[in-house]
Structure 1
């Protein structure tokens, strides 16, 4: 029987070992994936395009490598054209909007603020005329500071766009590596898979097959879960915008519900600026209505997202919420979706008795 000292020693060793594994995994996921990301995406695209290439090759009796080559060529040509056109349009639109921000402030927001301040001065004058001069000086300084802040913010955004443009060479190198790797992997996909499987034992291949099937099914489940969330958000926004009498309410609700999938920005990325601008324009009732719609959508999403995603993935809503929060802070957008999937995979492997982590 182990003594108390031996038990404590074993506990400390196991704890240090687990923490070391967690630290190494974090470093690999945080920095290693970024380095090998072109090859990861190349394998994913090759895997996806392999099935249609095989089907066409079987039906037409053309060589599999030839069919894979042309399918990948067509895929990247279409994707490249679409990304290029969207990128050019998006960049020009953002640049135009950002350059217009100071003008919008000077012509619309500034005068609205001055009008609001004058109303406050009139109220204060009836109470104590001596305070008006102090308020007037403070308001003038506030307007000047706001103008400088808006201008500096606009300049910072424009510089950020320039910084993104300066990082394009490295991005294009990664894209080129990804494209070339996709061709090589796709045209020799079966041999690569066979070679990789030979490096593992029969039990190892069984684990790989289990993980592969579960990840494929889980990705479908995650997509379905967020499609449900997006649909619920769309219904809420459509009802709210229709009640407020907003033109093209259905179309606007659809666009915002798509934007809502992004965990960093979400509905607030559009609704909050919209609410602020509407209130500054003096339309208090519509501004408050939009704010109420935004609060409702946010509360409902925060309630249903862990439940829907957790239920589909087979993990508790609280665990789902914690994993999404931790994943988002550690790995960004990828972590929000990825960490719940990894936890779900661990639970599945534990239930299948492939690994023993949980009791």
Structure 2
């Protein structure tokens, strides 16, 4: 009985500490973001920097400057190109939608007239209600697409207000990355060893190592899932000769992280569009492609995540469902890391 009470108390304490830490981390993230990013980047750059030091016999300070500058140049360039491409393709796409609806508005009315003539047995009130509802929806879509270009411009103008903060984050992240990378390379010891020396705690070091391993595995596993979604979608779109195949595939992979309304935001408008223009083969092919991506993701995700983290697939599914049901993406992150850290503490015999 005492063992059960003791285990329950440990679990309760773990849940309380984890919840408070989770809330504290994300509430303070706007203030600590440069240093959190810098630690991650320094961890990534430590091996290239040590390679420069050992191979070319240059000082750690100079090697850290070189790797940091190259890393930030590549990241910022790719980010700028991606954002500009997405904005450009979105504007072109929304203009195309607007033009299509404008030029085919009366064709849509004609479709309803033919339906009304072909289905005389259906109550006219039902047909008129469906017709009015559909036309109101079309009008709403038309108004939205007319304003979407203005909305994008307005959104970009609003972002301008955050430019000082964004610039400050970039500058402080760059500087902090340089100093963290230099410190790691200069001491020539892993960060975990520094923790051990400073805290003289083998248990804490064991927790840190397990936590680091599982965190990297978690990020890597979802990176693989996003890559699978992207590749299947891109190959399918290229075979079907879908316009804007690359940008739509990127958006589809990113939206796949959103609960429920992920991939359908890309696939369903394309399917509906091809049905309207009577391109039934492409519409059916897109539906089949969507089902392939969806089923593949449902099969692959639990296996990849559970195998990389060493967690039971049922626990992964439960954390995903409960998290999404409780609080969307935030709830998903909370529950997944709750399972991850519970597994870490269980492995080191704390729980």
Q: Could you say whether these structures have the same fold, taking a TM-score greater than 0.5 normalized by the shorter chain as the test?
A: yes
Aligned partner of 2:206 in structure 1 is 207
Q: Does 1:292 align with 2:288?
A: yes
What is the rounded CA distance, in whole Å, between the counterparts of 1:220 and 1:16 in structure 2?
A: 26
Q: Does 1:80 align with 2:79?
A: no
Q: CA deviation at 1:255?
A: 7.1
What is the rounded CA distance, in whole Å, between the counterparts of 2:14 and 2:341 in structure 1?
A: 18
What is the rounded CA distance, in whole Å, between the counterparts of 1:66 and 1:333 in structure 2?
A: 41
Aligned partner of 2:170 in structure 1 is 175
The structure with more radius of gyration: 1
What is the rounded CA distance, in whole Å, between the counterparts of 2:332 and 2:313 in structure 1?
A: 14
Gaps of 5+ in 1: none
SS in structure 2 at match of 1:199: helix
What is the rounded CA distance, in whole Å, between the counterparts of 1:247 and 1:11 in structure 2?
A: 59
Whether the 8 Å CA contact 2:42–2:177 is kept in 1: the answer is yes
- The farther-off stretch of 55-64 and 156-165 is 156-165
Q: Does 1:95 align with 2:88?
A: no
Q: CA deviation at 1:40?
A: 1.0
Q: Does 1:21 align with 2:12?
A: no
SS in structure 2 at match of 1:315: coil
What is the rounded CA distance, in whole Å, between the counterparts of 2:232 and 2:127 in structure 1?
A: 50
What is the rounded CA distance, in whole Å, between the counterparts of 1:136 and 1:248 in structure 2?
A: 30
What is the rounded CA distance, in whole Å, between the counterparts of 2:14 and 2:208 in structure 1?
A: 26
Aligned partner of 1:40 in structure 2 is 36
Aligned partner of 2:115 in structure 1 is 120
101, 104, 112: which one aligns with 2:100: 104
Q: CA deviation at 1:287?
A: 1.8
Q: CA deviation at 1:340?
A: 3.6
Aligned partner of 2:154 in structure 1 is 159
How many pairs align? Answer: 342
Gaps of 5+ in 2: none
- Which fold has the larger relative contact order, with Cα–Cα distance below 8 Å and residues 6 or more apart in sequence? 2
217, 224, 242: which one aligns with 1:227: 224
Q: Calculate the aligned-residue CA RMSD, in Å.
A: 4.4
SS in structure 1 at match of 2:199: coil
Rate the CA distance shift 1:74–1:233 in 2: closer, same or farther, 3 A.
closer
Rate the CA distance shift 1:85–1:322 in 2: closer, same or farther, 3 A.
same
Measured against aligned partners, the alpha-carbon deviations of 1:283-340 in whole angstroms (never above 9, x if no partner) come to: 2343234223313432342233113321332212221123234556788768757854
Q: CA deviation at 1:57?
A: 1.2
What is the rounded CA distance, in whole Å, between the counterparts of 1:118 and 1:42 in structure 2?
A: 63
- The farther-off stretch of 295-304 and 170-179 is 295-304
Measured against aligned partners, the alpha-carbon deviations of 1:91-129 in whole angstroms (never above 9, x if no partner) come to: 333334345543332124x244223212123225x5589
243, 252, 263: which one aligns with 2:257: 263
304, 312, 317: which one aligns with 2:308: 312
Rate the CA distance shift 1:241–1:99 in 2: closer, same or farther, 3 A.
closer
Rate the CA distance shift 1:176–1:327 in 2: closer, same or farther, 3 A.
farther
Rate the CA distance shift 1:48–1:140 in 2: closer, same or farther, 3 A.
closer
Q: Does 1:53 align with 2:45?
A: no
Rate the CA distance shift 1:114–1:325 in 2: closer, same or farther, 3 A.
same
Rate the CA distance shift 1:75–1:13 in 2: closer, same or farther, 3 A.
closer
Aligned partner of 1:71 in structure 2 is 67
Whether the 8 Å CA contact 1:121–1:132 is kept in 2: the answer is no
Task: Please report the TM-score for the alignment, with normalisation by the length of structure 2.
Answer: 0.75
Whether the 8 Å CA contact 1:46–1:185 is kept in 2: the answer is yes
Q: CA deviation at 1:278?
A: 0.8
267, 270, 275: which one aligns with 1:274: 270
What is the rounded CA distance, in whole Å, between the counterparts of 1:91 and 1:232 in structure 2?
A: 22
Q: CA deviation at 1:274?
A: 0.9
SS in structure 2 at match of 1:260: helix
